[in-house]
Structures are given as structure tokens and as C-alpha cells.
Structure 1
Amino acid sequence: MRQTWSLDGEWRFAKDPLQIGEREAWYEKPWDEEAMKVKVPHIWQREGGDLVGYNGVAWYRREVELTDCSTQRQHYICFGAVDYRCSVWWNDEWVGEHEGGFTPFELRIPSELIRERNTVTVSVFDPKDNAEIPIGKQGSWYTRVSGIWQSVRVEERSDAHILSAAITPDTDAMELGVRIELTGGSGAPGDLKLKYTIRPHACGEADTFEASSYDGILVVPAALRSEERLEAELRVNVADMKLWSPAQPHLYEIELILIDHRTETDQYVTTFGMRKVEQKDGRIYVNGQPVYIRGALDQAFYPDTIYTAEDEAYIRREIALAKQMGFNLLRKHIKVETPEYLYWADRLGMLIWAEPPNYVKWTASARERFVAELRAMLKRDYNHPSIIIWSIYNEEWGLEWDLEFDPEKQRHVAELVDSVRAWDPTRLICDNSGWTHIKTDINDHHRYFACPDQLDEWRKDLDEFVIGDPDANFVKPYRSQGEPIIVSEFGVWGLPDVERLKMFYDGNEPWWFVNQGEETHQDDYKKPTTALQNMNKFGLDRTFGSFEQLALHSQRRMFRAVKSLVEEMRKRPAIGGYVVTEFTDIEWETNGWLDFLRQPKEGFDRLADFNGAACVFAEIAAANVWSGDTVAWDLVLTNDDLEPRSGLVRWRLAESGLTGEIAAECSGPWNRLPQALMFAVPETAAAAFERLELEWYSEGRLIARNEYELTITPRSQCVLQAGNTTPITVHRMSPAFAAKLQRQGWQIASGLQQDQVVVTDCLDKDIETFARQGGRVLFLAEKGDKLSASGPFTFRELPPGESWPRASSLNYVDPDMFRGIPLHREMGWEAGGLYPDYVLPFADYKKVGVKRTVNMFGNPGIAEAGEVIAGYFQGWLGQNGGSIVRHPLGKGTVTVVTWKLLDHYEADPIASLVLHRLIDIAMKENE
């Protein structure tokens, strides 16, 4: 019936920077045999060199041999996607053009142009000024995508043929609605018939499953005139059809055969799944069962192929890996995903949240292009059961970030939601992912916090904003209608192994080490080259040794952070799920749970501990505990599969060997066991790390495990022996703080003595003069800009609250300066409550004001002249600052400390030990 010729493979390629090709008729002149050879599908940026940054016009050409073709039938050249605008010539004659970079299109080739040997020529225009076209993040954040980037084929069809079939499942009535689009020409009404067969396609990874098939014939009631389009409706009772779900992805196919005057003339096959999606009671439901969303943002960029997976085996491995990591959903972020990927999501049972590529500039032309691409995406992907959510906008991209204040944009969003719902009533719709909502099925939030640094802020944000005030995420007068609350973006960075990346790129630095994004993504911390410059400049080499070691610690910090972020959400049943940013690293953005090469990061073999269906969490009040104290902590059990669980939780302190058991049942999705974990903290000889291990057993089978980092400290270690301390002076600080120091064994002197250390939070003129004359000062500067006097030092306040840049950050310390105190180089839970709000800025930075951003200066000389003992950086070692710096001042030294020690000293073991050691450090003779 249909005959197909693939045009994938070798084509000739040529740039046309002056856009002279059409004027000089490149489509009809012989091409130089030396013209570049490329393989289609083709993204020209993959060729490297000057093509990485090339925008404008390029040409493709190849010979096409159509063996056994019939000039009595219709022929179409079909493109999967071409970015962005293209014109097509067949045998030197123009046959059509298309605009839109993500969705398929086809052009009819006039019969008189069809020969056995043919030439096809395609010009592609991808403009540099792309603000008014749908682009997503290609060319704005990451490498641009241009060219014939999906497959091409020629199809031979009968005059009357099937264009599409949209399958609408109705699980309540167990019926299928089938809407079939026809075109071409036929005779009288009744001349056309459609024979249909519905049968099982595949289940799981490969095996066909046993199930009923259905067949019948539909008579097309109307005549079909030449080049006219006609829709035919079919309803089929499928009472025995098995439902599609992530656990059992039963996939069916429908084969449609067109019968024209009793002759079978055309065939069309598509797959689909029988399933129902809805939202109610704060949850997303699939087939009447609540689904807790454990998702990952997936932008689907690749280290060498850029925007398409290498092959279908690669896709299968990737989806299987995502499921092993505990994910049940991937949010395909501002990209129309390839059909191959969606097919395997259907086959393997991975839920998909789909989202069209955004434009940037709010104009009528941009909106028209966007809606056209959105409509084409919905039409192409309608039959994929894996897709359960359509987003329309993401974070007001294209709405110029003033949706709250612009009634025209509000009307536009509301009307577009209504249009999408009319086009597809079977799925949930998110109007504007992450930010202010108008009309939506999901109240989703994008919230970036760094943990443990901002643990208290994260908890407060969840309780008071995300859960506590659902209307706050809507444009007034719109209000929440009880939609499921999903945190659909959050995450923390973890730097990759650069040597591994270089090996992948044949020993070379990747092209994207020079950030390929536009101007707003040229901050120092978004540039991999910054790391190469700053590793030694600010003393990071002394703390970490090498960049590879630093990256390892960065990944450990990332694991610790995302674990705590996820656990806090899962402890709150009012939240219906989450989507972490993100599945994999992409070029310079390194917040993936896998690196760009799809390799797990350090510790990420333990993802199921907190990202699986069944989990056990401990509500640990403080990670630093004193020997001899009794602790009583809650346990929280999650049970997303809703299987009744009955059993026990076994716990163990790994270093001391203390163990116990707790009865644990969970018949629903969630259960809290108040103060179930109770024990007396064992004695230790000295402060040390400890690890709490949890194992949840149900009916004798291990179903979940988890572990937590603790420190245990004997109180005696924090009390100094009488007579073993040098007197210190406490300058202009509260008597209560001086009393704490005395209780811990310090001798408090009066006056400024050169052989003593001055401890102060006020670096006034007297103390500055004291230091310049040779004195030693411990400057507890945790209040930063709020200090009454700070001498020659200035401070940068780290972004408080929700902050994407801060989520890329890392606080570090050189533990060799604190021997005997359990501290990680990448500061961890042992520093809980001590993380600084301010740092000494080594790099220029931006302070966000009410009306405008203020550019502020850093001072790299602070690091170069001093000794950086602890510090802070963002991303690729940019935005550096110091949180403990021993700095020369005149003949003396000032040890500047921004860790929050004052309120935690004496109560917190690590704060006490650190402050004591800092006094010792300050006492060091000037070097």
C-alpha cells in the first residue's frame, strides 16, 4: 500500500552566510564535489569549529533514487523536524516551505517531478535574532540546534489516504473514540471504508501480552474531493481491554486500512494505551489510583549528539536507569521530545510531563508561532499514554515576567488553557509552570534552596508558603481550587569529573567549556573555564588538592542536599510530589543526578533510600549530639505503592554498634511514628562522626533503608583544663558570651595585651590599631553588614530564602586546620546552624535591590594576601568568598569568621570545638 524511502544518511552541506544561495539558484546548479558531507539527521553545530556558533542559512542536497515508484500515486517528502525555517526543491523545482523547529511536516511532490533518479535540495534558515520564535533553551542557555535534525523520508500513497488517527480512551465506559483524518479524492458517499484492527502491542520491555483484539469496518459517509480533508469518527467497545499504567504499561496498536471501491489502498498504524488521568484530593490519579509524583526535569541534551539520543537502545537504557533511580515521571522541559523517546516511555511505563519550547519576546508574531507549535505538538503526541500533563508556559518565559500585572497576558493564558483543554480533554494542564498561576490543574512551584545550609528556611517555605498559602501562587483574583501541590523544580549542583569528560571528547576540552548561552548566562560561575582560573587563585587547591577531588566533595554535598530537600517534602503529605532539577547535567549546568555522560554521581547509588516508593525517614532534631544525652526522634514511613506494610524498623549506630527495633506499620501512603526512635547517646573518647542506619522490613522482607550523618562529642572535650589556656580579651561583646567562655575554661583578661588574643564582633579603631601594632584578633563577623564596625573588611550577604544561584553553591572548610573535630571539607550536617549568612567577597557580585540590581566589588587581594581556611563558591568556582580567613593587618593578624557561632557556642558541640580552635589559630605567631 504505502511505499517508503528513507532519506537519512549522507547529504552535501554548505553554509550560506551572505544568503546568496537562492538568488544564485544553488538548488539547480551542480555542487562542488568537495562540498562538505554530513549525515542526516544533522545538527550542524555537531560539526564543531565555526559551525558551533553559526547562525543563518545553510543548504543540504542529495540524490534520491525511487525504485519501483508509481507516477499514478501521490508522493510526499516528510520531515521529522527542521530548525528553524526551510524551503525545499525537488529536481530544481520549489515544492514548498515550512516554519517551526520541533514538529513534523510534509510537502507533496507534484507527479510530473517524480523520476527514478531525483535531486532534493533544502535551505535552512536559523536566525540569530530568535527572541520571537519557539526555541526552548537551545541557543539561549546551551548549544544552539540548527538543521535537518530529525529523520527524512519519501512516502508513496494512494490519492485518498489517512493522515492521522487520534485515540481517546474512556475507561469509565470502556470505549475508545477514534478520530480519523482523511485526505485525497474518491467518488460517491460510501465508496470509502475503513477496516480497523485493535490488538496488543507490547508490555514492559519486549514481550507481547495476551489480551483481546477488536476489529470492524467503518463506512465513510461523505465523499472526499481531491485535496480535501475529512474527519471520520469511530467508537469501539473494548470491555476486556487492559489498562495502561506505569506498573503495567499495556500498549495497544490500531491498524487502519482504507478500502476505496473494494480495494485496499492505504494503511495507517499507531499505538495507544487505555488509561485515565485526573486530579482530586490533592493528588494526581491514574486509572483511579493516586500517584505520588517522583519526577526529574529532563531537558534531553546529550554530550555529542546535542538534541537527540544516539539510538533507541540509548533511550531504553536511559528510561530504565531513571526507573532504577526511583523516578516515575520525567518532565520534558521546554522541548518537544522526539517520537522515539515517547514511544519507549509508553513501552516502559515512564510518565511524561510535556512542555512546548518557549519564545522570549511578547509579540503577536511570537504568540502565533508558539500556539502553532503547541498545537502541532499536541496533535503529534496525542496518542502517547505516558504523557499525563501538558504545560503551556514555564516561569512566564515569553510573558516577560509580568503576568501578575498585565491583564492582556492573563486573558491570553486563560484562553490558551481553554483551547488546550478543548483540543485534549484527557490530560491535566499546567498553565504556567512554577510561578503565578491563572487557571491550572496543578499548583506547582519552583523553589531552590541549599541544604543543610538553608534547612530552616526550606521548612518554613514549605509550611508557610507552598502548603500554608496555596492562593499566594495565583494571580489575583484567581485562587487555588485545591489542585495537587507539586514542587516541580528544586535542586543543587554537583561538579563533574572533568578528566572523564575530556576522555569522552578525545582528550580535548568540550566546546561548551566556553558557555554557549546568551548574555544573561555569562556569569563567572556558569563558565567551566572559571574553575580552571580560580582553583589555585583562592586557595582551593590547598583545601582539596585537585579539581577532581573538589568535584568529588561537591557531589557528596549535592547528594546530602537533595536527600534532605526530598525528605522534607515527603514528610509532608499535603505535597503531591516533586520534580527535581534535574535528571542529567547539561553542558555548564551541573545539577543533574547523573553527569552529562549519564554516569551516577558520588553517592547516587543510594537514591532509592529517599526517592523510592517505600521509604523510612528520621526526623532528626540535631545532627550533633552529646554523649550521654537521650534523644527521641520521629520516624516517617512513605508507601507510594499503597501495599499494606506490617513489620519493623531496625536501627543501628554504625560506629558504636548500638542497635534497636521499632514496630512499624503503614496501611496507607504515609505514617508518622512520634518519638519512636529513642536511645541514650553512647560515650566516646573524642568527637567523631557517627552514622545512623535504618532498615524497614515488611513481612520479613527488606523494603527500604536509609542512613543519617551524626557527630557524637563528649562534654569533657569542650571544657578546657584549668591553667592550660592563655588569657583572652573579650572586646565589646555581651557579658553573657564572656560568661560562656569562662564556663568552658577560658581565662578572661582585661585590656589589650599584645601577647593575648582579642575576641570581638566589633573591629573598631582601637582593635584595628591593636592589630596593626602586632596584635592578634579573632573577629566574629557573622552579622556582616549589620556590624557596628568592620575595619577594612567588607561583606557580601548570601542570597537569603529561595535562590537559584545559591543552590549552585558550596561552603567548604580545610579540616586539617581543625584536627580532632569532625568536619567535612564540603561542610555537611555537622555544620548545621553554623553556615554563614555573609562572606568576605573575593569576586565582584550583584546585589538585588528593590528597583534595580546594584553591582558590587569584591576584593581578591583578601584571599591572595591571607589564608583562606573556609570559604564559599557558586557553580564553577565563581562568586568566591571567605568565611574563615586569617589575614595580615599591619604587624598583626585578624582572623575573620562569619560562621554563626555566637548563639550556638556551648549548646552545640561542634560550634564549641570550632570556636576553641579558632582562638588557637588566632594565637599563631604571624607568618
Structure 2
Amino acid sequence: MSANKLPRPEYPRPQFVREQWMNLNGEWQFEMDQGCSGKARGLQKDDIQLKQSILVPFCPESKLSGIGHTDFMNAVWYKRSFTTPEAWLGRKTLLHFGAVDYETEVWVNEQFVGTHRGGYSSFSFDITNALKQGDNIITVYAQDDNRSGLQPCGKQSTAYHSHGCEYTRTTGIWQTVWLESVPDTYISSFRITPDTENACIHLEAKFNGAVNGLQFTCEAFYEKKTVGAVSVICGGSSTKLTLPLSETHLWQAGSPNLYDLNIKIVSGDTIIDSAVSYFGLRTIQLDGMAVRINGKSVFQRLVLDQGFYPEGIYTAPTDDDLKRDIEISLGLGFNGARLHEKMFEPRFLYWADKLGYLVWGEHANWGLNISTAQGLSQFLPEWIEGIERDFNHPSVIGWCPFNETWDSRNGARQDNEVLRIVYETTKAIDPTRPVIDTSGNFHVVTDIFDVHDYDQNTESFRARYAPMAEGGEVFNTFPERQKYEGQPYFVSEYGGIWWNPGQLDQDSWGYGERPQSLDEFIARYDGLTTTLLDNHSMFGFCYTQLYDVELEVNGLYTYDRTPKLDPEIIRAINTKKAAIEE
């Protein structure tokens, strides 16, 4: 990627779009700070030049950043200048960060504007009072220690080298940095709750500034035709309304009907603030062993997607790469994904919305010690930010805050209250979606009961779940640690077949013994997958995984997204009718 071409130029928040914005991606000054002494040395001062340059939003570990430093970095610094457009004068300016790993401090023109903790959620600061005419300088400092046990870091390696299912780390800025111009009184956030039974949406908006007596208006469109409009008088810092729709078009897997939405704050004929969005009409219900989407039992043919890229690590090189991963998955006959050990960026969810792709939102809990209540304070604030940011996406059909909460290295068990509180908080924020407390193990309180099973023997795999198919006992991987209580059930990780033809890397790995031929691979994939499709008590599956990641070579595609076999072979298996489907 050329440094002269603006990387990731697209609007970063596609469900809440304003016209006046500025992308700050591109070349920034950069410096590593292994001693975390930069503040004492005055690196936050505008006249101090940092030692290197970096291409934002790519992390310094990545090739695309121009740095490619893959050793641990305790702290990093960024700096760049920008000029505020004249049209923005007299308005507020917000500085947005898609994600920065992990603890961030920000200055504008040497004035401290804020701090944020969390490597995956988005955040912003009002920098209006720090601005001046002409050039302005932003300075960003980020500390990152994924070996501390005090921060969620997902699949980032805690050793120098990548190993097992821990891969190259991400430090500092890894999503788009951008400016937004807003009036003194503006819409700060909104959430949309679809109501298919009553052909409407319920919308709650929050405001910044004085809105008393002003009107808040919403207008919905379907294929450019107005299908609903409503206006209410604002009486405080937030308001709620119901927007009836004259036409009902449901958002479904493979049939992504979307409505456009205009929202405004107005005073008479004067528009104070406005933004455009979109939404989908979609409901989720649990019904016995079935998970119903818009009242229909839909078998969830999911694949594990870890969101890694050879040259960008956590950051897709282009927006098209995000879209392409979904298209690859759909081409294999999957209808969705577990977004694994990472909060994916809003642009990925946008393409999932547009392409009718089901996704489960998950946090990057690995690396965080949750054996005491301290883990809750490190986890919950960022998780809440993620839920609130992604709430409006119809493609998100469930939340899974934790994955495989194994006992810590010193043998301390998970604090069950941490999982319980996170579950209850998630349900309080979003009562519309099911929540898995921890995927695989160890369940405490959960709407869905799932297990991970990497048995490679198709006969023993089928025998294990045969009683369920007849309405009998379900398979519980850890009966001494978790109890099944009649919830909908699925195998949310299976397969992971070690298949890397033509690759001789001795450090690479997959699950089980490598098949000796393509035919053996296909037979194993077919046997494992058909077992789950044929089971009347199984509402879905999730195959590990869509593509290889570094040394883990159990993907259906290679790390550079080259198919390992004819995708139509996998598609034919995945799209067989499931027993639970109607």
C-alpha cells in the first residue's frame, strides 16, 4: 500500500453518518517508549519530534504500518498536525478513535483532552476548547502490557514468538482516527429496537446541549420511498419514540432487507443537527431447542472468524477485505460467524448487515485474570461500550462476552460472580438478544448452552450426540463444573481439521492427525458436519475455522485467503437441510 494513498478512507461509523468529518489516517510521527518515560521526557510537547513515522491505522507490528516491529512494546507515541476547516468554526469538534490498544492518553496543542482504557471499543473526546486557528497538533500515548493479566488481549501472544493459537500482537492505534464537526446541540447517540409484530421500530436518542422545546424527527425509507415519519418534542437529555412503518420487509439471513433512516433536531424550519442511518426489522426468540429469527427456526451454519490479516494483523488492509471475508464464508455455505476473541470494527458489521450474515459479538477476554472481582472492573466498562456501539446492527444475533474461561495459570478458578454480573449487565442493556456467558466452558448462567468438541473421529463424534437426537441426555464437556438446564444447544467449535497441503512448516498445527488425502479431509468434514445437521436437538454449529492464522493451519482458506479445495464441495455439505429447520 502506497504511503501517498490514504489508507482506510471510508466513513468509519456507517450507522451514524454526518457530512462534516475528516479522516486522520495516513502518516503520523511515531516513537516506541519501552521505559514508559515519554511524559517525563516531554514527548507530549508540540515542538518535540518523534523518531519514526507510521502509517495509521495499522499497528506498529504490521508490515502495512511501515514499522514491522513484533517484539513487545510497553508504550508508543503518535503525533500529527491538522487544520480545522473554516466551515467548522463556531461549532464543536469531536476527535474519534476506532480502537487503541490499550490505555490511551491524548493531547491537542499540549492540552490534555482525555484518557481511555480498553483495546477494542471506540471512544471520542470533545477537543473544541483545545483548538486554535491554523495548524493543530494531536499527540497520542498508549500503554500496552498483555502479560499483566489485567487486560483483555484475545489471541495476542504473551510470548515473544507466536505459538499455538496466540498470534502476533497489536499495540496502539489499529482503527481509523477521525474528526467530526457537530453543532453545540447535537444527537450524541441513539438505539433502534425493531418490532416486527407491530411493524415499527422503537428509537431512543440521547442529546448533548440544550434541546428543551426542540423537535426530534425521524423518517424511514425503503428503496427511497418514505414508509414512516414521526416527530416529538424534546424535554430533556434523551427522548423515546415509536416509528410505525407502512411496509414490512424483514431482515433475514441471506435476505438483508434494510431501511434507510434520517434523524434530525429541528427548530421550526431550521435543522439544528442531522444524521443518516439504516436499520433492519429482525427479531430473535428462543423456543425449546430452536432459535427463531423472525419466527422461523434458522439453523446457524457458523464459522469461526478471528479477524487477522497477514499484512495488517488486526486491521484489514481495505474495506473490500472485510467484505470479501464474508463473501468467502457465504460461498462456502455458511450463513454467519462467531467473531472470535475480538470486537470487530463497525465496518465489518456494516457488510454483515448488507449481505445478510449472522454474527455473534464476542470480547477478547483471553489474557485477563477473572479469578477475582478485579477482573470485572477491567472487563465490564469496555464490554458495555462495545454493546452500546454495536446494538443497532441487525446482523448481531447474540452476545458472547467470554470464551473458554479456563482456570488461571496458578490454578485459580474463574470467579463465577464475574460471569454472572457480566451476563446480567448484558441482558439489562440488551434484552432483545440471547447471551452466552462463556463459550465452551465454564457456564454459570446462560441463554444458550454450547460446547467445544475437536474429536476427529466421525464415529465417536456421532455416538456422543446420538442420545440428544432422540431427546435424551445432552453431552456436557465438564459436568463437574457446569450444569445443562434445558437451553438451546449447539457445538460452537468443532473440526479444526489439520489440512495444509504443500506446506512443510514444522511449527504449524491443527487438530488431530492430518488427513492423508483430500478425499480423507472431505470425508471427515462431511461426517462431523452432517452429524450436527442431522440432530433434531442442535440449532447450529460453528466450524473452526474460515482461514488459517499464522501457525494454525486448520482453515478452509489459507491465511492469504486462497482456497484449499473447491469451495463448492464444502458448500454442498454445509447447505444440507438441517433436522431442526422448518
2:537 is equivalent to residue 574 of structure 1:
yes
Unaligned ranges ≥5, structure 2: 1-17, 159-165
Seen in structure 2, the aligned counterparts of structure 1 residues 475 and 53 have a Cα distance that, compared at 3 Å, is same
Query: How far, CA to CA, are the matches of 2:249 and 2:383 in structure 1?
Result: 30
2: distance between equivalents of 1:482 and 1:402?
Answer: 30
Change (3 A) 1:492 1:113: closer
Report the Cα offset of residue 96 of structure 1.
1.4
1:38 is aligned to 2:54: yes
Residue of structure 2 equivalent to 1:368: 377
Please state whether the residue corresponding to 1:429 is helix, strand or coil: coil
Aligned-partner SS, 1:371:
helix
Q: Corresponding residue for 1:26?
A: 43
- 1:551 and 1:303, CA in 2 relative to 1: closer, same or farther beyond 3 A? farther
- In structure 1, distance between residues paired with 2:543 and 2:380: 27
Shift of 1:583: 1.0
Distance 1:121 1:555, change over 3 A: farther
Other-structure match for 1:163: 188
How far apart, CA to CA, are the structure 1 residues paired with 2:286 and 2:478? 18
Tell me, what secondary structure is at the counterpart of 1:428? coil
What is aligned with 1:302? 309
Aligned residues: CA RMSD: 2.9
Residue 489 (str. 1) matches residue 506 (str. 2): no
Q: Which residue of 2 aligns with 1:869?
A: none
| Separation (CA, whole Å) in 1 of partners of 2:194 and 2:526 | 38
- Aligned amino acid, residue 85 of structure 2: T
Cα 1:50–1:281 shift into 2, 3 Å: closer
Query: What does 1:262-281 align with in structure 2 at a 5 Å threshold?
Result: 263-281=270-288
Q: Partner of 1:881 in structure 2?
A: none
Q: Which amino acid aligns with 2:377?
A: E
User: Among 83, 104, 126, which residue is 1:65 paired with?
Assistant: 83
What residue is the counterpart of 2:229 in the other structure? Answer: 215
Matched residues in 2 for 1:372 and 1:100: separation?
8
Are the aligned partners of 2:56 and 2:176 in contact in 1 as well (CA < 8 Å)?
yes
Per the alignment, residue 610 of structure 1 pairs with 573
- Find the counterpart in structure 2 of residue 328 from structure 1: 335
In structure 1, distance between residues paired with 2:491 and 2:315: 27
Contact 1:10 1:37 in 2 (8 A): yes
Identity of aligned residues (%): 29
* Cα separation, partners in 2 of 1:576 and 1:349, compared to 1, 3 Å: same
Aligned: 1:150 with 2:175: yes
* Partner of residue 634, structure 1: none
Q: Say whether 1:235 aligns with 2:258.
A: no
CA contact under 8 A between 1:55 and 1:128: conserved in structure 2?
no
Map of 2:562 onto structure 1: 599
- Return the alpha-carbon distance in structure 2 between the equivalents of residues 589 and 42 of structure 1: 23
- CA contact under 8 A between 1:247 and 1:349: conserved in structure 2? yes
- Which has the bigger relative contact order, CA under 8 A and spacing at least 6? 2
Q: For 1:472 and 1:461, locate their aligned partners in 2 and report how far apart those are by CA, in whole Å.
A: 10
Matched, 1:439 2:445: yes
Work out the CA distance in 1 between the residues paired with 2:411 and 2:257. 44
Deviations 1:236-262 (A, max 9, x none): 122423111113211123221112575
Q: CA deviation at 1:2?
A: 5.9
Alignment match, 2:107: 89
Cα pair distance change 1:245/1:565, threshold 3 Å: same
In 2, Cα distance between the equivalents of 1:130 and 1:555?
43
Partner of 2:4: none
| C-alpha distance in structure 2 between counterparts of 1:75 and 1:604, whole Å | 48
State how many pairs are aligned: 551
Q: Deviations over 1:69-88 (max 9, x none)?
A: 44422111111111111111
Q: Please state how far the C-alpha of 1:42 moved relative to its aligned partner.
A: 2.1
What is the TM-score with the length of structure 2 in the denominator?
A: 0.87
2: CA distance, partners of 1:263 / 1:432: 49
2:200 matches 1:175: yes
Q: For 1:106 and 1:486, locate their aligned partners in 2 and report how far apart those are by CA, in whole Å.
A: 38
Residue 281 of structure 1 and its aligned partner are, at CA, apart by: 2.9
Secondary structure at the residue paired with 1:490? strand
The letter for the 2-side match of 1:361 is N
**Superposition map of 1:114-133 within 5 A:** 114-133=132-151
Distance 1:305 1:556, change over 3 A: farther
* Cα offset, 1:291, TM superposition: 0.5
Following superposition, the deviation at residue 410 of structure 1 comes to 2.8
| Secondary structure class of the residue paired with 2:401 | strand
Shift of 1:375: 0.5
Letter in structure 2 aligned against 1:251: L
Larger Rg: 1
The separation in 2 between residues aligned to 1:26 and 1:562, in whole angstroms, is 55
Taking structure 1 as reference, are residues 251 and 37 closer, same or farther at Cα in structure 2, changes over 3 Å only?
same
Give the match's secondary structure for 1:145.
coil
Contact 2:499 2:555 in 1 (8 A): no
Shift of 1:411: 3.3
2:548 to 564, 585, 597: 585
CA distance 1:116–1:400, change in 2 (3 Å): same
Q: State the partner residue of 2:161.
A: none
- Equivalence map 1:439-518=2 (5 Å): 439-450=445-456, 454-464=457-467, 468-470=472-474, 472=476, 480-496=484-500
Report the equivalent of 1:193: 215
Q: Give how far 1:465 is off.
A: 7.6
Distance 1:269 1:571 in 2: 44
Give the AA of the match of 1:9: G
Question: Would the aligned equivalents of 2:113 and 2:126 in 1 still touch at CA under 8 Å?
Answer: yes
